[in-house]
Amino acid sequence: MSLWAWGCAAALTIALGLLSLIDFKTGYLPDMIVGPLALAGLAIAIIGSPIGVSWQMALLAACINGAVFYGLRWLVSKMKGREAMGLGDVKLIAAGGLWLGPLALPYIMAVGGIATLLGAGLAGLITRKPVWRGEMPLGPGLCLGIWGVFVAGLFV
């Protein structure tokens, strides 16, 4: 791997790690981190993504990812009768698109969903309370999905 790829991976790891910790503790994904993460993803796509994402594909992915997650947020919120997903999750998944391109969304969603459910199950076992009746932060699972797809892309 090149120094550029290592640098990109390090920047992504730090940002996603911070977002995961903050969301897990507070239930909030701050724009002060998601915004620069998105800008870095676009800049990397313009300069030369180590996983081969062009700036056009990055912008397309951000639009698709954001629209899909905004639609999911709206649909699930309507079904539950209350807000089901924060806008931070929508912004995070759009930022992930800038880093990964349009074909990564199903993988991010699969890893994010599975990781969130496993995390909720583990938290329920530890606290001996059913977590699924309360709030489950989706951000850490999405961060793991974004990070995992990026790292996999480095080795393909």
Number of domains in the chain: 1
Structure tokens given for 48: 């030369």
Helix extents (H) in the chain: 3-26, 31-47, 55-80, 87-100, 105-127, 139-154
pTM score of the predicted model: 0.91
Structure tokens given for 19: 């977002």
For residue 63, give the amino acid letter: C
Percent of the chain's residues with pLDDT above 90: 74
State which residues form the domain around 39. Answer: 3-154
pLDDT digits (tens, 9 = 90+) for 68-108: 999 999 998 899 888 888 899 999 999 999 999 999 999 99
Contacts 24+ apart (CB under 8 A), 19-25: 19/92, 19/139, 19/140, 19/143, 20/139, 20/140, 20/143, 20/144, 23/88, 23/137, 23/138, 23/139, 23/140, 23/143, 24/137, 24/139, 24/140
